[in-house]
Amino acid sequence: MTARRDRPPPGRGSGLRSLAGQVLALEALIAVLLIVAAVLVTFQQARQDVLADARVRSLAVAEAFAKAPGVDAALTSPDPTAALQERAEQARVATGVDFVAVLGLDGVRYTDSETGLIGQKARGDLSRALVDGESYTETFRGAPNDAVRAVVPVVDDEGRIVGLVTSGIEVQSLSEAVEGRLVVLLAAGGGALVLAVGGAALVSRRLRRQTHGLGPAEMTRMKEHHEAVLHAVREGVLIVGADKRLLLANDEARRLLDLSADADGRPVAELGLDPRTVELLESGRTATDEVHRAGDRLLAVSVRPTVRADGPGEGSVMTMRDTTELAALSGRAAVARGRLQLLYEAGVRIGTTLEVVRTAEELAEVAVPRFADFATVELLEPVLRGEEPPQDATLSEMRRTALSGVRAVHPLQQVGEVIRFHVPSTPMATALSEGHAVVQAELAAADGWRAQDPEGAAGALAYGMHSLLTVPLLARDVVLGMANFWRADTAESFGEEDLEFAEELAARAAVAIDNARRFTREHAMAVTLQRSLLPRVLPEQNAVEVSYRYLPAKAGVGGDWFDVIPLPGARVALVVGDVVGHGLHAAATMGRLRTAVHNFSTLDVPPDEILGHLDELTGRIDEEAEPATAAGDDGRGRREETITGATCLYAIYDPASGKCTVASAGHPGPAVVDADGRVEFPPLPPGLPLGLGLGDVPFESTELRLPEGSKLVLFTDGLLEDHGRDVGTGLRLLRTTLERPDRSPEQTCADVLANLLSPAPRDDIALLVARTRRLPADRIAEWEVARDPAAVSPVRNAAAARLGEWGLDETVFAVELILSELVTNAVRYGADPVRVRLLYDRTLVCEVSDGSSTSPHLRHAAETDEGGRGLYLVARFAERWGTRYGRRGKTIWAELRVGPGDDGPVAGGGQGPAPATALDLDALEKLAW
């Protein structure tokens, strides 16, 4: 009995003739092929890995030994072998390579792990290392052994090649390592094969149990059973052959399509089906739930191609179900889905900008044509200006801001016109007064609307306008405007079901319009503030010819600024800065920093010290802002903002020497363009941005020498970085733009903006172009003064003579008096060297320098004091005076006005004729401080 149960029943396959047996054989074959391929690939990869590792190790050992201290000296010693053999052997043992050899320039071995090879010439081409100085690895074939070796030149302190170091691993060692891995790979492959065949056996066993070894008879009976089920289901099924003839139709399909009893075998075109259904079946394309008509029924049809055992067939299977009762419901669902999709698109498309007018236009564009044939948006005048809308005023007038329609010609009032609705019964007035949407299904019956504008209403009705839905635009319960939706081409009128959608659409648009309005207000305030803080007119000076541009960002003004500040000694300071962020805070912060820069510039110190003072001030401002409240805000729910993140570039140009001293606090450096159009970006110590609390890290200055006619281009990073463009690309584009000779600063500004400016810049842009001028040599006079009181008079006389050459005789007396006091003080109390310099520019500048850092102070001497009045006299006769400290020593300067109508200073201050009796200047020298 048991034996009979183990034998397969008649008609069922067994062994390889069964499906389970064939699956087992196929899986076993695939597993063998895959495992063999994997072993071969892994073995080859192992060989490559071992070889690569040998190259890396050999090169690392050779380079380390070649660069070890003393190796170059040992190679030039009388006996390199004695000096290096032991070290080479120790290196070989420590690193695990097979040999480390040191060679001379002729390729003779000084050291080797096999002592018998010492003194013999190494084989192979070593010219790459000896001639080119190149370190390399190679697979060497030859005596004494095949090996992977590295060759590295030994270079002495003067850069000369004095020898070679080779190290490597023999090929025999590498083969042994690979063969060791092969055993592991074969074991792993055998294990994988066992597992794969075992898994295939389990799958085959399970498949045999599931199929029961079915034979042809059993499969025939199964087919008959399937056909019985096919005819019993409540879904129509058609099977069409490759020749487009009907092969099978179940009972439900015959009922739904009203097929005759002899339909089997006939072409589908002769079955009397709907033409769209015939086209679908003959096309062979795939379809899912397409709606087709069959008499008075609506069928949901799906089509899939048939698949045969020997490959894909060319026929198709169509299933269908009756959806007539669901048609109305699906139509309403489709409308609802369309409205939801439209609301989603409105959320994406409305409010893409912070412009009030553009946001209103987006609302009108979204509604047409999927909801209305025409859409208009009217807004209150204060909203268009960015002001707060009136909360309790009578809303009887608005300005049409946007209009969209299915046709360009229409009877509606144009954009920009004032829309009035004084008649309370109009749909617009009713919607505004009640605060919700109002539907006027039949415009012809809207008496109030017709009474408001009889002529316009008649034109609209004649055009075909027949339905209106009007909805107020409310934000924070305040009316901003209203939206009107009109239908003319669409036959269906607006109904109550459209109200909720219109209000939702208007609510989303109102929030976006209110945001744009508030941004417009803040932007206008920030622009006004920033324009008041930026320089309106550049000061007059002769050191540079300056042009500038400032452009606020599209998203709002920021904190970029620039400045041109005249300094004593005919010099000028050029400044650009950037405060991170946008809006009122950034503009106000920019104003504070710009004022601070002006104040610190009066100290007349180098740029690095100016930035140090500015950084310290910024840090103090931040410290004052931080403890506003314990929670970190200003007590009114707004967090106090700090200045951290501001950058600044400060440059001082001296036209007398042509030197430009530049310092940066985290700001991009300037571009320097010579007269021939060559562009350079001099490297600057970058420095840290202002206000980071790192005042213990000093700023550094860089001195540039600028020939006359050079252009110094200062800019903020907004000029370089923009949509899809990084700093590197911006610098290359700026260099290309500046490489145009014979361009004035004004033309250069225009060129730069034309090539680098985008239509909507993300950040502010400040650009300052200054072309340098040099003070003519014949307007500079300098003298060295000995530390001897007797040397004062000759300098004074020489200065008087030079003033006569310049035609400034009216200033001789004042200059002699000033020089007497300043030079006498430097000789008495200063340190060598003492120098005197006169500069004739827009003013006459007298400078006396010495090596002392002692600062003079203006004081009033008592009646009994013999001295102390010198600086007081200097202050009375000079237009202005001051002290400038250098890296060593100081310079006291005084400026005098020159030009027509300058009668010279008088002793009592102010201007007037020179004294009739010349003063004894030698006696006045005793009044020095």
What is the SS3 assignment for 638-688? CECCCCCCEEEEEEEEECCCCEEEEEEECCCCCEEECCCCCEECCCCCCCC
User: Closest by alpha carbon to 378, among 370, 369, 389?
Assistant: 389
CB of 572 closer than 8 Å to CB of 543: yes
- Rounded to whole angstroms, the Cα distance separating 706 from 773 reads 9
Residue 615, burial from CB neighbour count under 10 angstroms (0-12, 13-18, 19+): buried
Q: Which residues contact 253 (CB under 8 A, 6 or more apart)?
A: 236, 237, 238, 259, 320
Can you give the pLDDT at residue 837? Answer: 94
CA count, 13 A, side-chain hemisphere, 823? 32
Q: Which residues contact 18 (CB under 8 A, 6 or more apart)?
A: 12, 208, 211, 213
pLDDT in tens, 86-116: 888 888 888 888 888 898 888 888 888 888 7
Q: Is 251 left (phi over 0), alpha (psi -120 to 50) or beta?
A: alpha
pTM over 0.75: no
Q: Is the dihedral of CA 367, 368, 372, 378 positive or negative?
A: positive
Q: What is the largest CA-CA distance in the chain?
A: 155
Can you give the pLDDT at residue 415? Answer: 92
CB of 366 closer than 8 Å to CB of 350: yes
Q: Is 339 left (phi over 0), alpha (psi -120 to 50) or beta?
A: alpha
CA distances for 695 relative to 610, 615, 668, 748, angstroms:
13, 7, 20, 37
Cis peptide before 390 (omega within 30 of 0): no
Cis peptide before 607 (omega within 30 of 0): no
What the block records as the tokens of 528 is 């006004």
- Rounded to whole angstroms, the Cα distance separating 671 from 150 reads 47
CA dihedral 593, 594, 596, 597 (to 10 degrees): 120
CB of 272 closer than 8 Å to CB of 258: yes
Ordered strands of the 671-673 beta sheet: 544-551, 765-772, 711-715, 671-673, 679-680
Range 233-239, long-range pairs (CB < 8 A, 24+ positions): 234/321, 235/319, 235/320, 235/321, 236/299, 236/319, 236/320, 236/321, 237/317, 237/318, 237/319, 238/281, 238/317, 238/318, 238/319, 238/320, 239/306, 239/315, 239/316, 239/317, 239/318
Q: Give percent helix, percent strand, percent coil of the chain, each to the nearest 5.
A: 40, 25, 35
CB of 101 closer than 8 Å to CB of 66: no
CB of 466 closer than 8 Å to CB of 487: yes
- Rounded to whole angstroms, the Cα distance separating 582 from 558 reads 4
Q: What is the DSSP letter of 117?
A: G
CB of 619 closer than 8 Å to CB of 695: yes
- Rounded to whole angstroms, the Cα distance separating 684 from 611 reads 14
Can you give the pLDDT at residue 264? Answer: 83
Cis peptide before 668 (omega within 30 of 0): no
Q: Which residues contact 141 (CB under 8 A, 6 or more apart)?
A: none
User: Closest by alpha carbon to 877, among 927, 914, 926?
Assistant: 914
Q: Which residues does the chain have with pLDDT short of 50?
A: 1-8, 10-11, 215-216, 628-632, 634-640, 861-868, 901-919, 923-929
Alpha helix ranges (H) inside 212-250: 216-232
Residue 771: strand pairing partners: 545, 711
Can you give the pLDDT at residue 697? Answer: 74
> How far is C-alpha 370 from the geometric centre of its chain's CA atoms?
38
* Amino acid letter, residue 476: R
What the block records as the tokens of 213 is 């070894």
- Rounded to whole angstroms, the Cα distance separating 596 from 405 reads 56
- Rounded to whole angstroms, the Cα distance separating 874 from 869 reads 9
Alpha helix ranges (H) inside 464-496: none
- Rounded to whole angstroms, the Cα distance separating 905 from 914 reads 7
CB of 836 closer than 8 Å to CB of 847: yes
pLDDT in tens, 752-778: 999 888 776 777 889 999 999 999 999
Matching residue, tokens 């039949």: 442
Can you give the pLDDT at residue 821? Answer: 87
Q: How many helices (H) and strands (E) does the chain have?
A: 24, 31
CB of 384 closer than 8 Å to CB of 356: yes
Three-state DSSP class for 856? coil
CA distances for 111 relative to 66, 121, 169, angstroms:
13, 11, 16
- Rounded to whole angstroms, the Cα distance separating 257 from 286 reads 20
289 sits in which H/E element: strand 287-294
- The C-alpha R_g of the chain, in whole angstroms, comes to 47
